[in-house]
Amino acid sequence: MTFEFRLPDVGEGTDSAEIVEWHVAVGAKVREDQPLVDIETDKAVVGIPCPTTGTVVALAAQEGDTVAVGAVLAVFAAPGEASLDADPGEGVEQSSAPAREDAVAEPAALAEITMLSEAAAAAAAAAAQAGHVLASPAARAAAREAGIDLSSVSGSGPLGGVRVGDLDGPRVAANGGVPRASAAASREDEHRPLRGTRRTIARTLTKQWQTVPHVTDYREVDVSALLELRRLLRADAVRRGDDDVAAVVTATPILVKLAATLLKRHPLLNATIDMDRDEITVYGAINIGIAVATPEGLIVPVIHDADRKTVFEIAVEAAALTAAARERTLNSSDLAGATFTVNNYGSLGIWLGTPIIPPGQSANLGIGRIDDRAVVRDGEITIRPIAALACSGDHRLLDGDVIARFVSDLVRAIEDPVSLFGDLR
């Protein structure tokens, strides 16, 4: 009896996923709940465990392939009943038909179930003769960065494919991973598939830029008081023995708290417009998305009810979300429900940017790096820490004066944050 395991809906709101790495091979005996495969959705890398105990009969996709939700992912046989010639029927969850030892796989089946099949072995041999190396996308990227010639690496993956872990230690040939002269001299174009987070970013930003008329208010702001407030908050946390909290109190959580508080006074910046329904939705909750740069692209986890949280609470939550975003361990609830976005790109060295408004929102606030600049105060030239703000708004919903009033209030709050509300702790 064989069991077809289909790619489940992992709750990320996507209809497909990319195979990142298999943790089993055809013929392997597995236990229920042991690691089966890592998949990458549009938002995160998710590990999927084995659904049953038995033997792996077939793996229906290779590393780097994209599989639709509901499509066959792997085929298992019950303990003692494994057959590598199993030919599961299309759309059948389980099959009680005995494995046919003399069965010959049809071409369609060979196309779908390739791991360690004769067709796959032949393809692998042909690839090797042509000088192509089987490797996962992650391994190829890591090899390029490290300057390692993949042909010098002994792969541990299915069909001898190279995985990221194979790039270290004895699997790398004695040439030390130095690319061959012929490879170094090659100037051929490299074609990479557009998948995962980068594909989502490309599609989303293209649609937003083409369909949402952006209007952006740029300002310079003196952040002296904000930096002093940050120092006081950190000192307060240290006095209370919360050194870990003090370490994560940066300018970002203070800015998030200021923006969230002001959005109650400027509700149209915490709203969205639906042209198909001719409707404006002003959100009751204030949920702030915080943009996080990761190796895979920009990810925006959400701090829910930010207006009801203290700076300390926001700082701790933001630090945890940022770490999870970079480790690709966020869940769907961490990424859902943003009503406004704060993008602190100053850590990237950017002075001024133009934020693009995310779907379902009407505004995106960006802040750049802090520079010491000469400014005039009380008729005299002095040096102050200055940052540039950029607030983009959806011009279908927000006129320039509406955005300007919000930004003006925000500038005043940054330059005198305690005046906006009493206890920031």
**Which CATH superfamily is 197-419 part of?**
Chloramphenicol acetyltransferase-like domain (3.30.559.10)
Domains of the chain: which residue ranges?
2-125, 137-181, 197-419
Exposed/middle/buried for residue 376 (C-beta within 10 Å: 0-12, 13-18, 19+): exposed
Phi–psi pair at 244, nearest 5 degrees: -65, -35
**CA pseudo-torsion sign 232, 237, 241, 243:** negative
Q: pLDDT by residue (tens digit) across 1-21?
A: 788 899 887 765 567 888 888
**For residue 267, is pLDDT > 50?**
yes
Highest mean pLDDT, choosing among 24-28, 81-85, 338-342: 338-342
Reading the block at residue 233, the tokens are: 């908050």
Please count the residues of the chain: 425
Pick 2-125's CATH classification: 3.20.20.30, 3.10.20.30, 2.40.50.100, 3.40.50.20.
2.40.50.100
Reading the block at residue 208, the tokens are: 């937003």
pLDDT computed for residue 109 by the predictor = 35
381 confidence band (pLDDT: 50, 70, 90): very high
Reading the block at residue 113, the tokens are: 């179930």
The candidate with the shortest Cα–Cα distance to 376, out of 220, 218, 230, is 220
Instruction: Give the separation between CA 218 and CA 400, rounded to whole angstroms.
Output: 11
Instruction: Give the separation between CA 260 and CA 263, rounded to whole angstroms.
Output: 5
Catalytic residue, candidates 23, 214, 304, 395: 395
**Could you confirm whether 191 is annotated as catalytic?**
no
Highest mean pLDDT, choosing among 135-139, 196-200, 307-311, 418-422: 307-311
Reading the block at residue 124, the tokens are: 């692998």
Instruction: Give the separation between CA 1 and CA 82, rounded to whole angstroms.
Output: 8
